[in-house]
Amino acid sequence: MSEYSIDLELKDFGKVPIFLPDATRGAIKSITTRDIFDVGTKALVTNTLHLTVSPGSEKIKELGGIKKFMNWDGIVLTDSGGFQVFSLLHSKQWEGKVHDGGATFKSPKDGKVIELTPESSIDIQMNIGSDIMVVLDDCRKSSVGRKDAEISVARTLEWAQRCRDYFDREYGGTKETGKILTAVVQGANFLDLREHCAKALAEIGFDGYNFGGYLLDDDGNLVVDELACVLENTPDDKFNYAMGLGKPSDIIKAIEIGYTVFDTVLVTRNARHGSVYSFDIEGPEYKMNIKNAKYANDQSPIDSTCDCQACKYHTRAYIHQMIKVGEITGMTLASIHNLRFYNRLVEGKR
Ligand SMILES: [Zn+2]
């Protein structure tokens, strides 16, 4: 029995800081659903685009929805699929185009044409069976010019309204489904556009407001002013989600601004490459490379204050050696530990 329980109700989601691991395709590489639970996770993110490409959202629905499929009792948040599609289409890795109605592209798996529109994005997320859905938005690069940022905001607002209308009309909204709908605030680094977008979305009315676009500027610094602007112009009683924010120091800063919902693929990707986090290491990033030769004989746990499986039962020396030789167990232990670290980080247990 785990000492944790998933005692979080949707109505209380985001009232205090929470970290959501990315179970992109319904899993986190090298660890199990049980492991995700055992590190104290209450909610996770799955990736709409990846699940649409394989096995397909209808297949997930047939199997009882993502929660039954992966046997996860906690909350699930799905993105709209837009961020991945637009970054892939803009980088020309995929065939397809972005247009006023959404995006059209070919599945890299079987060549099937997929239409991602505000309405189909809601259908797909309903099929997947998440609790928290995100509306389709027009995401651009951080360095976007004024004109493109204006187009992005106009489309984002139009699509948000269409998602809101469609969810309420076709599915009966939150009242009938018990699910909640969140919006994405765009506007790149133009504060007036951010303010306009946030206010207009608040006018439509959503259960959460996510910071869209890029959270770091070209020098890698957190866009503090933009984050604060979005927070100030969205309702106080709804949560603000800093989508994809990665570094511990940035998450701490965003919590200070007032953001409460976080996810990042970095936490487990770094773990697999030997980057682990420890409150035994001086901040602000608490990061150590466990592959470093100095840990080869280190009999202490990764983090002496951590209660995870990796820290309770294994030494730095063991995890060092397992990762060094490419043993999956090393990646598993490092991933479990890093997830526990991020949960403790956002809970302020440092
Ligand atoms: Zn640990």
Is position 295 within any domain? yes
Domain annotation covers residue 18: no
Average pLDDT value for residue range 54-82: 95
- pLDDT of residue 2 exceeding 60: no
pLDDT of the residue at 92: 66
Residues 124-140 pLDDT 10s:
999 999 999 999 999 88
Between 223-227, 276-280, 281-285, the lowest mean confidence (pLDDT) is in 281-285
Which pLDDT score, from 0 to 100, does residue 1 have? 39
Are 225 and 305 found together in one domain? no
Phi-psi region of 305 (alpha: psi -120 to 50; beta: other; left: phi over 0): alpha
Q: Which residues pair with 239 in a beta bridge?
A: 208
Q: Ligand 1 centroid vs 74 CA: distance in angstroms?
A: 22
Using pLDDT thresholds of 50, 70 and 90, give the confidence band for residue 6.
confident
pLDDT level of residue 4 (50, 70, 90 thresholds): low
- Taking the centre of ligand 1 as the mean of its atom positions, its distance from the CA of residue 46, in whole angstroms, is 24
Last residue of a domain, one of 213, 244, 264: 264
Residues 204 and 281 in one domain: no
Distance 65 CA to ligand 1 centre (A): 31
- For every residue of 103-148, DSSP letters joined together read EEEE-TTT--EEEE-HHHHHHHHHHHT-SEEE-------TT--HHH
Query: 119 pLDDT exceeds 90?
Result: yes
Q: Is the pLDDT of residue 3 over 70?
A: no
Long-range CB contacts for residues 171-174, cutoff 8 Å, separation at least 24: 171/122, 171/126, 174/207
302 located within any domain: yes
Q: How many A from CA of 132 to the centre of ligand 1?
A: 29
**What count of other Cβ atoms lies within 10 Å of the Cβ of residue 129?**
20
Domain around 334: 272-346
CB-neighbour burial class of residue 221 (10 A; exposed 0-12, middle 13-18, buried 19+): exposed
34 inside domain: no
Does residue 216 sit in the same domain as residue 106?
A: yes
Residue 30 lies in a domain: no
Determine, yes or no, domain membership for 178: yes
pLDDT tens column, 138-186 = 988 777 899 999 999 999 999 999 999 999 999 999 999 999 999 999 9
Q: Does residue 153 belong to any structural domain of this protein?
A: yes
CA of 72 to the centre of ligand 1 (A): 22
Residues 60 and 99 in one domain: yes
- Whether residue 300 has pLDDT greater than 80: yes
For the four alpha carbons of 136, 142, 144 and 150, in that order, the dihedral sign comes to positive
User: Do 169 and 303 have their domain in common?
Assistant: no
Ligand 1: centre distance to CA 275 (Å): 13
CA of 297 to the centre of ligand 1 (A): 18
Verify that 70 and 217 share a domain, yes or no. Answer: yes
Please state whether the predicted TM-score (pTM) of the whole model is above 0.85: yes
Total number of domains constituting the chain: 2
Question: β-strand 180-185 against 132-134: which pairing, if any?
Answer: parallel
User: Which residues 6+ apart lie within 8 Å of 333 measured at CB?
Assistant: 309, 310, 314, 319, 322
Which domain-ending residue is among 218, 246, 264? 264
- Residue 57: partners with Cβ closer than 8 Å, 6 or more residues away: 48, 51, 123, 124, 125, 127, 128
Please state, in angstroms and rounded to a whole number, the distance separating the CA atoms of residues 32 and 38. Answer: 10
Angstrom distance (rounded) from CA 155 to CA 136: 10
Asked whether residue 58 is assigned to any structural domain, the reply reads yes
- Contacts of residue 142, defined as CB under 8 A and 6 or more positions apart, other chains included, come to 188, 189, 213, 214, 216, 217, 218
Residue 338 CA to ligand 1 centre (angstroms): 7
Q: Are residues 115 and 158 in the same domain?
A: yes
Assess whether pLDDT exceeds 70 at residue 83.
yes
Q: How far is the CA of 178 from the centre of ligand 1 (A)?
A: 35
Given its phi and psi angles, is residue 311 left (phi above 0), alpha (psi -120 to 50 degrees) or beta? alpha
Q: How far apart are CA 206 and CA 184, in angstroms?
A: 10
Q: Average per-residue pLDDT in the chain?
A: 94
Distance CA 350, CA 347 (A): 8
CATH number, residue 174: 3.20.20.105
Q: Does residue 260 sit in the same domain as residue 277?
A: no
Range 249-261 average pLDDT: 98
Question: Is the domain of 215 the same as that of 233?
Answer: yes
Answer with the one of 264, 297, 331 that is the final residue of a domain.
Answer: 264
Helix (H, G, I), strand (E, B) or coil at 151: helix
Query: Largest alpha-carbon pair distance within the chain?
Result: 62
Pairing of strands 275-277, 18-20: unpaired
111 shares a domain with 87: yes
Ligand 1 centre to CA of 180 (Å) is 33
Lowest mean pLDDT among 5-19, 157-171, 299-313: 5-19
197 with 102, same domain?
yes
Q: What is the CA(279)–ligand 1 centre distance, in A?
A: 10
Between CA 100 and CA 82 the distance in angstroms is 13
CA of 277 to the centre of ligand 1 (A): 9
Same domain, 250 and 288: no
**Residues known to be catalytic:** 79, 263
What is the sign of the dihedral through the CA atoms of 188, 239, 254 and 81?
negative
Mean pLDDT of 196-215: 97
